[in-house]
Amino acid sequence: MNKDFFSAVIVAAGVGKRVGTDIPKQYLQLLDRTMIEHSLHPFLEHPKIVEVIVSLAKNDQWFDNLIVSKHPKVRVVIGGKKRVDSVLAALNVIDKENYVLVHDAARPCICIGDIDKLLSQVTKNKACAILGTKVRDTMKRTFTKDQIKHTVERNDLWHALTPQLFPNQLLIDAINQNKTPDKITDEASAMEMAGFPVVIVEGQSNNIKVTQHEDISLAEFFLKLNTKAFI
């Protein structure tokens, strides 16, 4: 695998109905930019990332209107109905020898420092790696929607974040050979089911995923704190 060439995939084919807006959530304005522009920025600025593949919905009518769509590092592919299909569409246009970082367009607060942590992990240890944050709250498992079954031990529990970083060919094989694709919730889960070890690297907790409407204000707050954004 070539550790000198890193590609990035930005998954942006979703609709994000839970946010409750008329347009896909990745095109909502956060401060003076759209969400997807904030998500793309650290990858486009990073000197070790040679290309950024954006996986869009077939009927996307917004991305081409953004200035960032003309960036020389950016290429576009059409995604699929499921997240894993959108990821695979992007992986298939990337050199198989590259390492690839997969990131959600709905995570606009990712910082270059956390990307550096992942690249460093791979460079030193040739490992598959993802960003994560340790679980801090008491965790409960339920019988039904609202009845508690028991408390889950939170030691060694993590929230999985993106980006997630893998050798491209290994990730493609892990996805294509998986017999239960509905159980692939992120790229790490595909690698785990294929038997490959994945390292988790602690990242910043402000790397939130915008899922609910109230997450928009929180993302804007974190972006204001990130003094490196669009300087």
Q: What's the burial of 153, exposed, middle or buried (CB within 10 Å: 0-12/13-18/19+)?
A: exposed
Could you read off the pLDDT of 88-146 as tens digits, one per residue?
999 999 999 999 999 999 999 999 999 999 999 888 877 899 999 999 999 898 887 78
Cα 151 to Cα 137: distance, rounded to the nearest angstrom: 11
Cα 72 to Cα 201: distance, rounded to the nearest angstrom: 30
pLDDT category at 231 given cuts 50, 70, 90 is very low
Q: What's the burial of 136, exposed, middle or buried (CB within 10 Å: 0-12/13-18/19+)?
A: exposed
Cα 30 to Cα 20: distance, rounded to the nearest angstrom: 16
Contacts of 210 (CB under 8 A, 6+ apart): 16, 19, 25, 28, 35, 106, 107, 108, 216, 219
pLDDT (0 to 100) of residue 22: 78
* Contact of 163 with 109, CB cutoff 8 Å: no
| Torsion over CA: 87, 90, 93, 94 (sign) | negative
pLDDT (0 to 100) of residue 123: 83
pLDDT (0 to 100) of residue 230: 46
Contacts of 159 (CB under 8 A, 6+ apart): 132, 133, 134, 135
> In the numeric block, which tokens belong to residue 150?
């028991």
Identify which of 132, 141, 131, 137 has the alpha carbon closest to the alpha carbon of residue 155. Answer: 137
List the CATH code of the domain at 6-225: 3.90.550.10
Identify which of 52, 173, 44 has the alpha carbon closest to the alpha carbon of residue 102. Answer: 52
Could you read off the pLDDT of 146-195 as tens digits, one per residue?
899 999 988 889 999 999 999 999 999 999 999 998 899 999 999 999 99
